[in-house]
Amino acid sequence: MANKNAFYIFLAGTLVSLVIFLALTWDTHQQVDALTNADKLTEQVVAGKHVWENKNCNECHTILGFGVYYAPDLTKAHKRIGTEGIKQVVLQPEVVFKDSIRKMPNLGVTEQEATDLAAFLEWVSNIDNHDWPPQDSADRMSAAERRATGGAGLSRGAAAFQQNCIGCHSIGGAGGSIGPALDTVGTKYDAATIEAIIADPKSVNPDAKMPPQSNVSDDDRQAIGEFLAKQQ
């Protein structure tokens, strides 16, 4: 092939690639407002972002893949533990993580700052990030979590537990430490009571710190109740 022909092929390929790149960039910018819920970017959300920055939360945590991977990623934290769960963690980390190896320091966050931070994390959790980072995906599970919830062939209840609960609770040593371990929860509660706890913890225990898990569907709640009732 002559050098002249090779040059034209190279030039054509470069121009086509550039056009595709610009088209995809333009399309992405057209969707930014919808993907990020820009219409829900309230003053409280902005105030919560300032709390996140002022308390240097990114020095331990990540959101949307940005930050330090020392502590859990918080992109979907609000979907996992809700507003009250977030407030409890930042206001009393020494209580929440008293049995955890990694200790979150008490940063002196005020009640209002905690509320604003929860609003910011709720906004972040609703960003359509195409399942990235993927650790909150229902089909992504560590080997330890698979052992804790019944192996690769998960039952409906085990899969629902992994998707909705294992970020805060553990079974067999695998899972989170924000809430209590549930290895023997079936000796204390039956399936119906566990379902009630998931829907409204204070209906069973008025002193419960866990927020209502309104994001868990009725079918998943029933499956989790039946699964946990067998943990004895």
Local structure of 36: helix, strand or coil: coil
Q: What's the rounded Cα separation, in Å, for the pair 201 and 207?
A: 9
Q: What's the rounded Cα separation, in Å, for the pair 129 and 63?
A: 11
Question: Under CATH, to which class is 138-229 assigned?
Answer: mainly beta
Q: Look at the block and give the residue holding tokens 């309230």.
A: 42
Q: Do domains 38-133 and 138-229 have the same CATH topology?
A: no
Distance of CA 132 to the CA centre of its chain: 11
pLDDT band (50, 70, 90) for residue 197 = very high
- Specify the higher pLDDT residue, 30 or 69: 69
pLDDT of residue 96 exceeding 80: no
**What is the per-residue pLDDT across 145-188, written as a single tens digit (0 to 9) for each?**
444 444 445 678 887 887 788 878 888 877 777 888 899 999 99
Lowest pLDDT segment from 11-25, 70-84, 213-227: 70-84
CATH value of 38-133 in 1.10.760.10, 3.40.640.10, 3.90.1150.10, 3.40.50.410 = 1.10.760.10
Q: What pLDDT shows up at residue 111?
A: 94
Average confidence score pLDDT of the chain: 83
Q: What pLDDT shows up at residue 152?
A: 44
Q: What pLDDT shows up at residue 154?
A: 62
Q: What's the rounded Cα separation, in Å, for the pair 166 and 181?
A: 10
Total residues belonging to the chain: 232
Q: What's the rounded Cα separation, in Å, for the pair 114 and 84?
A: 9
Domain segments of the chain: what residues? 1-35, 38-133, 138-229
Mean pLDDT of 66-75: 88
Taking a C-beta distance cutoff of 8 angstroms, is the pair 117, 35 a contact? no
Q: What pLDDT shows up at residue 136?
A: 56
**CA–CA distance from 174 to each of 86, 133, 147, 149, 177 (Å)?**
21, 20, 8, 9, 9
- pTM (two decimals): 0.61
pLDDT of residue 142 exceeding 60: no
pLDDT of residue 195 exceeding 80: yes
197: left (phi over 0), alpha (psi -120 to 50) or beta: alpha
Q: Look at the block and give the residue holding tokens 């209002």.
A: 112
